[in-house]
């Protein structure tokens, strides 16, 4: 992609495939949607954001005409049917930190809890070893007890949020002004958390349509393939690509902060185009600001 000032940025589009699964041919309806592990820092603070502070920024029909139509994700409790506000996961598919931890035990580790008592849904019928191992020989008992789930949840909730670094430097101050003028703050809100701690998550925890280029084929909890929860920006520098080249966005395709911005479409298209057309000095200041959060 060509940017103002003559800069050319190559965008990497991953192509995923499963080779030789080892237990027979995949169902032709099989879809692949790789997901990077989410940062655990500050999740306790996000859990404590009042629901009203999140829903206050909803505008699903874009009534104000600014091109941003974020909506809250509402998750139905599997037992009580109560609707709860989703706020965790790439598509805001989990309403509470405890349920997020239980989902991670089930889908990442194949371990059962009372909230997710049967993780066999991740094993297809021909995967006999997988289905036999899913309960770990525990019979009808769950593998992760309620006290253990509570302890892990409490630990995750205690992890501090990232602290900003270098936010007072001249490029960072300039970059923050560019961030706001570009329209990025319409979704990556700097004011969602109102406590006295300096760090802000820079998210609205709402679902937004980010266009076809970032769409996947795995709708979750009512979120469509083009919809993603606004990713918190705090601690961004710590998530930049390591030596394996995988870094930002849901599938790790972006190798830099700028590349991640350039993949944005849909509701974020206008903000992306603003960044594309920035003078080089302003664009560089924007990146400095983002990586200071």
Q: Per residue in 224-280, pLDDT tens?
A: 999 999 999 999 988 887 656 678 999 999 999 999 999 999 999 999 999 999 999
Residue 280: enclosing H or E segment and its boundaries?
A: helix 280-290
- What is the rounded CA–CA span in Å between residue 59 and residue 70? 6
Share of the chain above pLDDT 70, in %: 88
Q: What is the pLDDT of residue 137?
A: 44
Question: Token digits for 220?
Answer: 């979750």
Question: Token digits for 152?
Answer: 């892990």
Name which of 145-154, 189-198, 227-236 the model is least confident about: 189-198
Name which of 40-49, 147-156, 237-246 the model is least confident about: 237-246
Name the pTM for this structure.
Answer: 0.90
Question: What residues contact residue 30 under an 8 Å CB cut-off, 6+ apart?
Answer: 18
pLDDT single digits (tens) 207-225: 999 999 999 888 888 899 9
- What is the rounded CA–CA span in Å between residue 68 and residue 231? 15
pLDDT of 54 above 50: yes
- Pick the closest to residue 178 from 256, 258, 62 (CA basis): 258
Name which of 33-42, 51-60, 124-133, 194-203 the model is least confident about: 124-133
Q: Is 283 helix (H, G, I), strand (E, B) or coil?
A: helix
pLDDT of 120 above 70: no
Q: What is the pLDDT of residue 211?
A: 96
Q: Considering only residues 256 and 142, tell me which one the structure prediction assigns the higher pLDDT.
A: 256
Q: Considering only residues 95 and 191, tell me which one the structure prediction assigns the higher pLDDT.
A: 95
pLDDT of 136 above 50: no
Share of the chain above pLDDT 90, in %: 61
Name the DSSP letter for residue 169. Answer: S
- Cα–Cα distances (Å) from 57 to 32, 71, 179, in that order, read 32, 8, 19
Q: What is the pLDDT of residue 140?
A: 58
């Amino acid at each position: 992609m060509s940017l103002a000032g003559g800069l050319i940025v190559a965008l990497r589009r991953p192509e995923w495939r499963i080779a030789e699964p080892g237990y027979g041919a995949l169902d032709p309806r099989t879809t692949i949607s790789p997901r990077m592990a989410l940062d655990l820092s500050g999740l306790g603070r996000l859990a404590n954001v009042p629901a009203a502070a999140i829903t206050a920024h909803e505008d699903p029909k874009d009534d104000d005409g600014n091109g941003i139509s974020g909506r809250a994700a509402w998750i139905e409790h599997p037992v009580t049917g109560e609707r709860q506000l989703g706020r965790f996961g790439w598509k805001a598919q989990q309403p509470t930190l405890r349920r997020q931890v239980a989902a991670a035990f089930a889908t990442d580790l194949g371990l059962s809890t009372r909230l997710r008592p049967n993780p066999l849904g991740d094993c297809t019928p021909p995967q006999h070893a997988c289905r036999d191992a899913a309960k770990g020989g525990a019979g009808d008992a769950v593998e992760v007890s309620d006290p253990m789930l509570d302890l892990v949840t409490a630990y995750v909730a205690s992890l501090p949020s990232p602290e900003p670094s270098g936010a007072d430097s001249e490029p960072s101050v300039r970059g923050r002004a560019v961030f706001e003028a570009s329209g990025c703050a319409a979704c990556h809100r700097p004011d969602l958390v109102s406590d006295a701690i300096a760090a802000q998550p820079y998210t609205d925890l709402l679902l937004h349509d980010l266009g076809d280029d970032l769409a996947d084929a795995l709708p979750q909890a009512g979120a469509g393939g083009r919809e993603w929860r606004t990713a918190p920006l705090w601690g961004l520098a710590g998530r930049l690509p390591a030596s394996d080249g995988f870094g930002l966005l849901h599938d790790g395709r972006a190798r830099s902060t700028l590349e991640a911005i350039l993949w944005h479409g849909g509701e974020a298209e206008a903000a992306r185009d603003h960044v594309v057309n920035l003078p080089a000095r302003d664009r560089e200041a924007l990146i400095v600001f983002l990586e200071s959060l």
